[in-house]
Amino acid sequence: MKTPVRVRFAPSPTGHLHIGGARTALFNYLFARQQNGVFILRLEDTDQARSSEDSVQMILADMQWLGLTWDEGPETGGDFGPYRQSERLQMYESKALQLLEQGKAYFCFCSPEEVEAKRQAALAQGGQPKYDGTCRALSPEQARQRIAPGASYAIRFKTPQTGETIINDCIRGRVVFDNSTLDDFVIVRSNGLPTYNFAAVVDDAAMEITHIIRGDDHLSNTPRQICLYQALGAPLPEFAHVPMILGPDKTRLSKRHGATSVGAYAEQGYLPEALVNYLALLGWSFDDKTTLFSMDELIEKFSLEKVSKNPAVFDPQKLLWMNGHYIRNIETDLYNERSRCELKKAGLVGNNPTQEEQVMATAAAGVVREKFKLMSELPQQVEYFFREPKLEALDEKSKNMLAGMKENPGLFKSLHEKLSMVESFSVSNLEALFKDFIEEKQVKFGALAHPLRVCLTGRMQSPGLFEIMEKMGKEKVLRRLASGMKAAGIL
């Protein structure tokens, strides 16, 4: 029987979940779901100074928002926990002890300053800036003698100095590292905490991770980690290093390129469906032409073989276009629900919207659905459905349009009268009414529609006038037309 797939996303909770991290999490998630495997979330929080609980909560919330639910991890639990490295310190200690006892690791008493000075000296002589192995030669007896009076020490791994370490990466192919370029790296710091390379390997082995899918900035760590696996006698997982993400100017994606955190995209009005779809295309493609994929389609079609070695370029315009597509195409119930949230945030409907507010929210959001690309634009688009337009604060054009009503006061009074007689304010009834009215009065449609639009919305542009009138309802339309006429001085 095939070993069940177990993959993990292992963020360090030192800030927001960024685009790159989210893409790595997504690839792990897709692979796990497709293989009926297990997706694990592990928090690499041993850097006490930089890790924070706030960051943990943001990462968990952003993962959930994206729909990347984990099977094992913080708050969910699982058989291989705990899932925070800060709660696994005993495990690292016992593995470090095991390596020390087997002579595969050693105590190092060199101070950070000494180590740095040696690295600099090596560099100056054109050599590799690596640890020179001073303490490698100490016998366990000599080490114990220095520890007894309280000397501070780190623990270093005895990296093989000859031979090669080979990675058969699912994406990069065969990558060969000459062991002589690897130094005896620290596995436990002088403060007793494990380093990333050590903790990650101890955990990946203990959690029986089968595939390590992560950013290719970790490729250079991989030979060290492979050596650790071998020293610990643990079976090697598969490795898949996904390409880095560049900004539109082809430099590494960073804050300079604008928002990079998932939370910021959510805040700006991107939909999780759009972000997931777009992230999947950062490095992966199905057939070079299909761009729209639902999560289910991604799960079905994703494969590591089709992930490119080459860096992916982040294109904000394409993401924006995609967001517009999802706004128009997600299920209507979901769209209505998200719309209500935006309208609440903007204070256009109450926190517990009344029935009337809910009906208006759905109607208004429906009318403008084709017109915008970010959910955060919705409140501005539909504000006039909820608030009377400020006729005293119109822009110049709208003001003139309103004032122009004075030229034919009777026309608008009689329109008001006609409208007040319509029983059902439906688009078709209104269409028929306007058609007759124009003919009777011998005016152009625009001569009526433009000023009326300003009365109803306070704007020169809006979606179809009849649609707006239908959604606003008779009472509001008549009231606003009357207010407009008053403002124009004809009532």
Q: Of 10-18, 354-362, 386-394, 401-409, which segment contacts ligand GLU by CB under 6 A?
A: 10-18
Q: How far is the CB of 177 from ligand GLU (least distance, A)?
A: 17
Does residue number 238 form part of the binding site for ligand GLU (CB under 6 A)? no
Torsion sign across C-alpha atoms 50, 52, 54, 57: positive
Closer Cβ to ligand GLU, 10 or 488, answer by number: 10
390, two tokens = 């400020």
**Cβ-contact 108, 156 below 8 angstroms:** yes
Does residue number 169 form part of the binding site for ligand GLU (CB under 6 A)? no
Neighbour-count burial of 423, counting CB atoms closer than 10 A to its CB (0-12 exposed, 13-18 middle, 19+ buried): exposed
86, two tokens = 């800060």
DSSP output for 101-157:
HTTSEEEE---HHHHHHHHHHHHHTTS------GGGG--HHHHHHHHTTT---EEEE
CA 331 to chain centre: 21
How far apart (Å, rounded) are the C-alpha atoms in residues 34 and 183?
Answer: 39
How far apart (Å, rounded) are the C-alpha atoms in residues 70 and 309?
Answer: 27
Q: How far is the CB of 90 from ligand GLU (least distance, A)?
A: 20
Q: Which of 214, 241, 369, 476: binder of ligand GLU (CB under 6 A)? A: 214
The residues, any chain, with a CB within 8 Å of residue 421's CB and separated by 6 or more, are: none
Q: Which of 255, 318, 435, 444 is catalytic?
A: 255
**Size (the chain), residues:** 491
Q: How far is the CB of 91 from ligand GLU (least distance, A)?
A: 17
Helix axis angle, 409-421 relative to 427-441, nearest 10°?
Answer: 140
Closer Cβ to ligand GLU, 11 or 194, answer by number: 11
Does residue number 329 form part of the binding site for ligand GLU (CB under 6 A)? no
Q: Which of 118, 119, 146, 218: binder of ligand GLU (CB under 6 A)? A: 218
Chain position carrying tokens 């291989």: 80
Q: How far is the CB of 214 from ligand GLU (least distance, A)?
A: 4
Catalytic, 444? Answer no
Q: Which of 10, 68, 274, 477: binder of ligand GLU (CB under 6 A)? A: 10
Q: How far is the CB of 367 from ligand GLU (least distance, A)?
A: 44
Please give the residues from 26 up to 55 whose contact with ligand GLU meets the rule CB under 6 A: 44
Q: Of 9-17, 76-84, 140-148, 261-269, which segment contacts ligand GLU by CB under 6 A?
A: 9-17
Does residue number 200 form part of the binding site for ligand GLU (CB under 6 A)? yes
**Known catalytic residues?**
255
Which residues sit at the interface with ligand GLU, rule CB under 6 A? 10-12, 44, 200, 214, 218
